[in-house]
Amino acid sequence: MRDSADSYDPASGRIRRGNRGNAKRQKFDNEDTYLKRDRHVQRLQAESATDAADGLPEGDRWSTWDQSTPLERGPRPHPKWLVTDLAAVDTELGILKTGKEADVYLIRRGVPGTGPDCLLAAKRYRDATHRLFHRDSGYLEGRRVRESRVNRAAANRSAFGRAAIAGQWANAEFSALCQLHAAGVPVPYPVQVLGTEVLLEFIGDPDGTAAPRLAETRPDAAGLASLWDQLVGALCTLAEHGLAHGDLSPYNLLVDDGRLVMIDLPQVVDVIANPNGREFLARDARNVATWFARAGHPSASGDALAGLLEKEARLA
């Protein structure tokens, strides 16, 4: 059920706001998607905004595909739907969601007037001054950046340092997605990373209607059982690779016509190296099992799922 997702209306070029029922604003993860553009959010960023937009209508930029190095592009083979043509233009169709640390935009990439196009989700990390909440200190401590200039700048939170941290989040999410995609975990195909922006496969309908988050759906018993099985399978694969999502909730799972897709992965946790690995596994398991149990799935148990994941990760 797409009860609160927004949708892109190709006729008017605008995002249609979904049916919200309760107009009261909620916060962050459980906040409905909305279109209002935050003033601090830059439009179609690229390494060089002037070159990128040269000669194009406002809000468009040349495809940034060639600006990412091969390692900053998604795993090969690149999917057939992905437009890699250098003459392609990225058109920003609207904002899908503003979050605590990033804003997600809907982008159409294609060569104007010819050929196929594709929809992408552009997740743009904000620098720390524009973030409402951040996990930088604890999380980034363990990650060593080769250039000490970057480490120093990050430590003293200069403007360059803040942008560098946002870039590290983008890189962390991109590499986690590449690893998980290769492992067969249902995640959006990671198209490319460029600075503080991660471009992802758009999960939703071709008309730009984003897939709802699990929390927004009301599946019937069979649908619930299928989603639970998909979730357990995905989490077991993560655990086999020694990983936990680290921030798993029914808001970081999308449901695309019955298919479960895991998103929001910058903080993926190495449960073997991390001394709190077991707790991360258990917390992820509890967060989702609680939702499934409340929704009426009889065999959803946080403890049982946590036990299974510990075994898969060889922690038990």
Ligand X SMILES: Nc1ncnc2c1ncn2[C@@H]1O[C@H](COP(=O)(O)OP(=O)(O)OP(=O)(O)O)[C@@H](O)[C@H]1O
Residues numbered 103-132 forming contacts with ligand X, rule: CB under 6 A: 104, 121, 123
- Residue of 174, 202, 291, 292 that binds ligand X (CB under 6 A): 202
Q: How many whole angstroms separate alpha carbon 94 and alpha carbon 253?
A: 21
Q: 3-state DSSP: the chain helix, strand, coil percent, rounded to 5?
A: 35, 20, 45
Contact status: 72 vs Mg ion (CB under 5 A):
no
- Toward ligand X, which CB reaches closer, 101 or 127? 101
- Residue of 210, 239, 255, 288 that binds ligand X (CB under 6 A): 210
Q: How many whole angstroms separate alpha carbon 178 and alpha carbon 125?
A: 18
What residues have CB less than 8 Å from 152, skipping those under 6 apart? 161
Contact status: 264 vs Mg ion (CB under 5 A):
yes
Contact status: 97 vs ligand X (CB under 6 A):
yes
**Residue nearest to Mg ion according to CB distances in the complex:** 264
Q: Which residues are catalytic?
A: 247, 264
Contact status: 81 vs ligand X (CB under 6 A):
no
Q: How many of the chain's residues bind Mg ion (CB under 5 A)?
A: 2
By a kind-dependent CB cut-off of 5 to 8 A, residue 104 interacts, out of ligand X, Mg ion, none, with ligand X
Contact status: 252 vs Mg ion (CB under 5 A):
yes
Neighbours of 79 (CB within 10 A): 12
Q: From the CB of 101, what's the least distance to Mg ion, in Å?
A: 9
Residue 227 structure tokens? 């989603």
Q: How many of the chain's residues bind ligand X (CB under 6 A)?
A: 25
Contact status: 241 vs ligand X (CB under 6 A):
no
The runs of H, that is alpha helices, within 41-193 are 49-53, 136-141, 148-156, 159-183
The runs of H, that is alpha helices, within 142-195 are 148-156, 159-183
Determine contact, residues 215/251, Cβ cutoff 8 Å.
Answer: yes
Contact status: 162 vs ligand X (CB under 6 A):
no
Q: How many whole angstroms separate alpha carbon 67 and alpha carbon 10?
A: 28
Q: Which residues bind Mg ion (CB under 5 A)?
A: 252, 264
Q: Which residues bind ligand X (CB under 6 A)?
A: 28-29, 33, 96-97, 99-102, 104, 121, 123, 188, 200-204, 210-211, 213, 251-252, 263-264
